[in-house]
A and B are shown apart, each in its own frame.
Chain A
Amino acid sequence: MSTSDLCYLSISEAADLLQSGKLSPVDLINAHLDRIEATDGRLNSFITLLAEESLEAARNAERSINSGDYLGPLHGIPVGLKDLYYTKGVRTTIGSKILRDFVPDTDAAVTESFKNAGAIIIGKLQMHEFALGPTSINPHDGPAHNPWNVERVTGGSSGGSGSSVAAGQVMGALGSDTGGSVRIPAALCGIVGLKPTFGRVSRYGVYPLSWSLDTVGPMTRTVRDNALVLNTIAGHDSRDPWSVDTPVEDYTLGIENGVEGLRIGIPNEYFFDLIDAEVSRTFDQASHVLEGLGARVERVFIPILERSLAISGSIMMPEAAAVHIDHLRNRADDMGKDVRDRLETGALTPATDYIVAQQARRLFNRDLADVMTNFDLLLTPTVALGAPRIDQPSVTIEGSTLPTVAVLARLTRPFNICGFPTVTVPSGFTKDGMPIGLQIAGRVFDEATVLRAAYAYEQATDWHTRRPPL
């Protein structure tokens, strides 16, 4: 098997080979290190590469597996972490200059989970500075580049996670999602990205952006792999005050059960007000695929969705400013201009505006919860257009010219407000070859149905089998 073929195995395929002894973890890691060496000069996915450490871990994994101590489907699998997950003894920059030399003395809960499962952390991944932006154009590390066209953005803020998974540099990665930061890069890089229900995965040891919106999510090339990673990281953790103590399933078990009889709502409001025609056409085709598989797809009125940006923005920016208030007072010149603009705006937002937004959030959540008494899932596009160019500060959609950042995060934010589990799955390409994503949201803590629908769609199409020309 060639290096490239090894790097494009799914996690579940590689796990079978590793468990049976047909594939060596050392060979698998070496193939990925070779792939990184061959491609990262063009992609800039990594902030810190852990080559020696990951080879040592692979040798340990090989010994364990050979002696019958197989830990499960992530044992020996190369993964990456967005550079805001604490890694004991390994610097964790949050994509910033200010924390360039920060070395945590503890692991994040999800870092622990990966290590306990035998996953091999091959490096720390590029991101938008402080996770506060949807492009991953980073003034300190340079931009992350999209593997489908290196002149295009990856999306953000988990841009390195998106590019590294899509390019076969790692088999899976973790991103974080406050307004779309898992789903946007996953959609723009042509992979699967899940924002679990708020409270499903511990944020202990995750550098915060916005406490009441932050979530941790897996990014993989297939839906089944996503379920495998979620199995590893989901669960209650008393160290995260908003972690919820609710049962965790094996998310691979019902994944093949199909969508027959599921009620899927397509919101009439908001999601289609500002959308590229190609994305709109692709969405219609995707909804027909699900209908063809037996789902009952209907339009649904959810007027409160129109308030999404007002609610989300009025919560996220003040919370982020509170996280960074000392940085703003003492190190503002060390921030990128876009991030500084957002944080200073948040710092100068009156407390009453923040509180009113949290009141509005409760109304929003009531309305969404009412809708979900009649529907199993909601279906929307993930991002309104394919990845724009890195040097493109504004985009034009159907005659309207808008800032790129405003367009990229528009369709993902509503599901951070209500906390619903939401996945993006590859659903096509623009005429210039950039991936398009389909967004599927479900009831709180029902990741199983969300993944089941995503899997059914994935298996009925071949978008996930395509590889970037790199």
Chain B
Amino acid sequence: MAEQSMTEDSVRAMAALVGLKLTDKRVAELLPQLQKSAALAKENRSLDLTGVEPDFKFDPERL
């Protein structure tokens, strides 16, 4: 399925799931920032991450 763009309605739905109370004004203010954040995530997904495990327990000694 194609990736859908974020909308004010989707921001409201996510905020409700997380338990944040956002006014319509806040939703409008946050939307562009969330779109920027989504663009960063897209940049990360463009790397070939096949077989790469996440670095949750970051351990510099492994480097």
Measured between alpha carbons, how far is A347 from B11 in the docked complex, in Å?
11
Within 8 A of A (CB), among B1-54: 11, 14-15, 18-22, 26, 29-30, 33-34, 37-38, 40-41, 43-45, 47, 49, 52-54
Bound complex: CA A328 to CA B11 (Å): 15
Residue of A nearest to B49 (CB): A359
Contact across chains for B37 and A345 when beta carbons are under 8 A apart: yes
Are the CB atoms of A314 and B41 closer together than 8 Å? yes
**B52 and A362 contact, CB distance less than 8 A:** yes
Of A284-292, A305-313, A385-393, the one contacting chain B is A305-313
- Quote the shortest CB–CB distance from B51 to chain A (angstroms): 10
Closest residue on chain B to residue A361 by CB atoms: B55
Task: Enumerate chain A residues within 8 angstroms of B29, measured Cβ to Cβ.
Answer: 341
| CB-contact partner of A362 in B11, B20, B21, B55, under 8 A | B55
Does the CB pair A419–B60 fall under 8 Å? yes
Contact with B along A363-379 (1 / 0, CB 8 A): 10100110010000000
Instruction: Determine whether the beta carbon of A369 is less than 8 Å from that of B63.
Output: yes
Given the complex, which residues of B lie within 8 Å of A347, measured CB to CB? Answer: 18, 20
Contacts A359-B52, A363-B47, A363-B49: A310 and B63 contacting too (C-beta < 8 A)? no
Contacts of B55 in A (CB 8 A): 212, 358-359, 361-362, 365
**Chain A 164-184, CB within 8 Å of chain B: the 1/0 string?**
000000000000000000000
Tell whether, in the assembled complex, residue A198 and residue B47 are in contact, meaning their CB atoms are under 8 Å apart. Answer: no
DSSP majority for the B interface?
Answer: helix
Which residues of A lie under 8 Å from residue B54 when comparing CB positions? 355-356, 358-359, 361-362
A295 close to B (CB within 8 Å): no
Residues B60 and A244 in contact, CB atoms below 8 Å apart:
yes
- Which of B14, B34, B45, B57 is the most central at the interface, judged by chain A CB atoms within 10 Å of its CB? B45
B15 CB contacts on chain A under 8 angstroms: 344, 348
Q: Is A197 an interface residue (CB 8 A)?
A: yes
> Contact: B37 with A317, CB < 8 Å?
yes
- Which residue of chain B is the closest to A358 with respect to CB atoms? B54
Cα–Cα, bound, A420→B52 (Å): 21
Q: Which residue of A lies closest to B17 (CB)?
A: A348
With an 8 A cutoff between CB atoms, is A445 at the interface?
A: yes
Contact call B52/A198, Cβ cutoff below 8 A: no
- Chain B residues contacting A372 (CB-CB under 8 Å) are 63
**Contact A348 B11, CB 8 Å, known A309-B40, A310-B40, A359-B49:** yes
Nearest A residue to B54 by beta-carbon distance?
Answer: A358
Q: Report how far A217 CA is from B61 CA in the complex, Å.
A: 19
Chain A residues numbered 165-212 whose CB sits less than 8 Å from any CB in chain B: 197-199, 212
Q: Are A344 and B61 in contact (CB under 8 A)?
A: no
A274 at the interface (CB under 8 A from B): no
A311 and B58: CB pair below 8 A?
A: no
Per the bound structure, the CA–CA distance linking A123 and B11 in Å amounts to 42
Nearest Cβ on chain A to B43's Cβ, whole angstroms? 4
Which A positions have Cβ atoms within 8 angstroms of B?
197-199, 212, 242, 244, 246, 307, 309-311, 313-314, 317, 325, 328-329, 332, 341, 344-345, 347-350, 353, 355-363, 365, 368-369, 372, 418-420, 443-445
Q: Given A325-B18, A341-B29, A356-B49, 7 other A-B contacts at CB below 8 A?
A: A212-B56, A310-B41, A310-B43, A350-B41, A357-B41, A418-B60, A420-B60
Can you sample 9 A-B contacts with CB below 8 Å? A325-B18, A328-B20, A344-B15, A344-B26, A349-B37, A353-B44, A357-B41, A419-B60, A445-B60
Interface of B toward A, CB cutoff 8 Å: 11, 14-15, 18-22, 26, 29-30, 33-34, 37-38, 40-41, 43-45, 47, 49, 52-61, 63
